[in-house]
Amino acid sequence: MENMETTIIHNVTIIADRLIPDGILVTRNRQIDFVGSQEEFHQKRAPTGEWAAIDGAGGYAAPGLIDIHIHGANGCDVLDGSQQAIAAISRYCAQGGTTGFLPTTVTAAADKTLRAAQAVRNFAEEYPVHPAGAQVLGMHLEGPYLNVERKGAQYAAAIRPVDLGELEELYLVLGDNWKLSTIAPELPGAESAIAWLTDRGITVAAGHSTATYDQSLQAFAWGVSHITHIFNGMNPMHHREPGLLGASLTEPGIHCQLVADGVHVHPAAAKLLYRMVGPQRIALITDAVQAAGLSDGNYALGDLAISVRQGTAWLPDGTLAGSTLTMLEAVRNVVDWLGIPLVDAFRMASLTPAVSIGMEKLGWLRPGYKADLLLLDKALGLEQTIVAGTTVYQKQ
């Protein structure tokens, strides 16, 4: 689809605030202009001027997916520190139904993290819409201020004490491109770091943490509003010490990332999460690594060697090390596991992630929102990825 002034998509079931069979979706000037049924369309408006039409062939029109936690893909890692690496990840995203993403670092040396931040900023400025990929919405820094006891697949040698000077350096590079930061809130100095980040509009997530229940509540009071890959990188919930997991499930307004690959989190635990907090608080993520989009073999995650067997990434000691998931696979997984409405499943992969990082007019099929959408077949297979009204991926 070229970015013509007006495009009308028809013969689709639209996944929006409600499921709309035989729907009509109109994009105009890179935005959603109309979402509704055939009857509503003909009652309320008629196209004027030049317009293009797309026949959805009886499939679905769905919101473009937003991945707020992805480390790499197609043989590249965000910490490669190059625009070429970001471009490769962007293409992978578009091919898996993602229209916007946050390139995500793991813990690394300060200079390496700064190079990655500069590459992300440069790419975002050069490609507000990439011709063959998803849009960079900003950056997610996972670390380096994490708890080594729950490091998971983080490079232990680079985990370090909270340093506001380092945050200032990163902010000078990233500015408003810094959207999300993961920190262990029980660390000395975490309160000041959380205040510093939230004062600049950066969403703060708790993760790779041994925080107790009371420490978690305190962190939420300081401004933490987000949980990095819930269930993973934190203490299991105990009935006498619910910990970060228990606080995340029971306190209102906390957004929870979920890796829905069936390995990181058992489907029954995902079902429990959905029943407790609902789609408004679950943000599906891939946590994908450089092996995503490639075959099994030996790869790297930041400074760590990983191996991928049957599509799952591991450290040599058997620790999980990210995934090779796509966002659309994650959506199909939760539909299969949870038996939930398509509206809820797509909300967890689009609108909720956008809201969780403070992005407005993004992540849903509503008039006035950015024209990021997917055309899917009847089995939720991807046919077309559209970013800001421009086709960036077309199934061959």
The model's pLDDT over 315-335, given as tens digits with 9 standing for 90+, comes to 999 999 999 999 999 999 999
- What Rg do the C-alpha atoms of the chain give, in angstroms? 20
Q: Is the pTM of this model over 0.85?
A: yes
What is the topology classification, in CATH, of domain 6-62+365-394? Urease, subunit C; domain 1 (2.30.40)
Active site residue 372: no
Residue 275, number of CB atoms within 10 A of its CB:
10
Q: What is the CATH code for 65-356?
A: 3.20.20.140
Q: Is the pLDDT of residue 48 over 70?
A: no
Q: Using CA atoms, how far apart are residues 21 and 175, in angstroms rounded to an integer? A: 43
Is residue 167 a contact partner of residue 193, using CB atoms and an 8 Å limit? yes
Q: Using CA atoms, how far apart are residues 287 and 120, in angstroms rounded to an integer? A: 17
Is residue 196 a contact partner of residue 164, using CB atoms and an 8 Å limit? yes
- Average pLDDT, integer, range 26-55: 86
- pLDDT in the model for residue 5: 79
- pLDDT in the model for residue 129: 83
- pLDDT in the model for residue 4: 56
Parts of the chain belonging to CATH 3.20.20.140 = 65-356
Parts of the chain belonging to CATH 2.30.40.10 = 6-62+365-394
Beta bridge partners of 53: 8
- Average pLDDT, integer, range 83-89: 97
- Which residue from 318, 320, 312, 332 is spatially nearest to 382, judged by alpha carbons? 332
Q: Read off the pLDDT of residues 208-223 as tens digits, 9 standing for 90 and up.
A: 999 999 999 999 999 9
Q: Using a pLDDT cut of 90, give the percent of the chain over it.
A: 93
Residues 304/308/309/314 CA torsion (nearest 10 deg)? 30
The side-by-side arrangement of strands in the sheet containing 312-314 is 297-301, 304-309, 312-314
Q: Using CA atoms, how far apart are residues 376 and 66, in angstroms rounded to an integer? A: 16
Q: What confidence tier does 185 reach under pLDDT thresholds 50, 70, 90?
A: very high
- Which residue from 296, 176, 179, 175 is spatially nearest to 226, judged by alpha carbons? 179
DSSP string for residues in 3-66: --SEEEEEEEEEESSSEEEEEEEEEETTEEEEEEEHHHHHHH----SS-EEEE-TT-EEEEPEE
Q: List the beta strands (DSSP E) in 190-303.
A: 203-206, 226-227, 255-259, 282-285, 297-301
- pLDDT in the model for residue 45: 63
- pLDDT in the model for residue 8: 94
DSSP secondary structure code for residue 256 in this structure: E
- pLDDT in the model for residue 43: 81
Q: Give the amino acid at 35.
A: V
Out of 67, 80, 261, 287, the active site residue is: 287
- pLDDT in the model for residue 379: 97
- pLDDT in the model for residue 128: 87
- Average pLDDT, integer, range 273-302: 97
Q: Is the pLDDT of residue 46 over 80?
A: no
Q: Is the pLDDT of residue 244 over 90?
A: yes
